[in-house]
Structure 1
Amino acid sequence: MSLWTPGGEHPVDRDRDAGSSPGTSGPADAGGPDILAGLSEEQRAEFDRLSPEDQEQAKLMIAQMAESRRQVLSTPAAVVIGNHAMGLYELAAIHLGAEQPQLEEAKLAIDALAALLDAVDGHLGEDGDTMRDALAQIQLAFVQIRAGLEGEQQGPPTDQPEG
């Protein structure tokens, strides 16, 4: 598994146990008997009320969440933040590209992206420059789409002589 950034893909399963390979039931086995150790008393009581099949399913889900957590922990924060930034960019692009563009929703995503990039300025390396470029592009697209919509609402000029 990998995380995508503008600078390329970054593997996140570097610390995977040697005995566990993709496509096997490794995460469930890796948890062993301690898989339920993190549950509160209330959660444990709820777990005990489940059928054996549901308990196995719950154990598998807990193990998968633990594996996901290990993968995120092995990934540099800048990579994760970059992924979130690109998610905000995509969100804005989706709202702008809708049949009826949703400007307020796009503006919120663009403003959030700008705030995020301002907050981490200088900490994302070359990816930060790429994300700044993406921000400028989506801002320009927003302005162009808004201008186009405002032009449609005004309609053709009414002070022109008829023909």
Structure 2
Amino acid sequence: MNSAPNEDNIEPEVAESLEAVAEARQRLAEVPAEMVISNHAMGLYELAAIHLTSSPPDLIESALAIDALACLVEGLQERLGENFEVLKDALANIRLAFVQVKNSL
């Protein structure tokens, strides 16, 4: 007795969701890893900025996001391709903003 799903016993909504996931995976597989990683790095930058500009600023959460960004940028460096310089500058800027916010408290 096999209870594994097959096309005959999957609800249409579930089948549609599975198809959408498969399509998304295929699209993601076509994007260079350096681009995906760079996008995630910018997400960490934005997360740090959100925590720095919250009221009151959340320095602990911001520092974690900055440290994670630094791990990617400083760890991968030129492997990030053409985005490396932009990410390096973004890291320097968010670190400076962190120090300025921390010193203003």
Name the TM-score, length of structure 1 as normaliser: 0.59
Distance in 2, matches of 1:114 and 1:148, equals 23
Matched with 1:145 is 101
Is 1:116 aligned with 2:72? yes
Q: 2:92 aligns with which of 122, 133, 136?
A: 136
Instruction: State the aligned residue count.
Output: 103
1:1-163 maps to which residues of 2 (within 5 A)? 44=5, 48=9, 55-149=11-105
Gap regions ≥5 residues in structure 2: none
Identical amino acids, percent of aligned pairs: 45
Distance in 2, matches of 1:75 and 1:128, equals 17
**Cα RMSD for the two superposed structures:** 1.8
Matched with 1:21 is none
Distance in 2, matches of 1:92 and 1:106, equals 4
What displacement does 1:43 show? 5.4
Name the TM-score, length of structure 2 as normaliser: 0.90
Instruction: Select the structure of larger CA radius of gyration.
Output: 1
What displacement does 1:42 show? 5.5
Gap regions ≥5 residues in structure 1: 1-40, 150-163
Matched with 1:161 is none
Q: Structure 1 runs of 4+ off > 6 angstroms?
A: none
Q: Which has the higher helix share?
A: 2
Distance in 1, matches of 2:27 and 2:56, equals 39
Q: Which has the higher strand share?
A: 1
What displacement does 1:120 show? 1.1
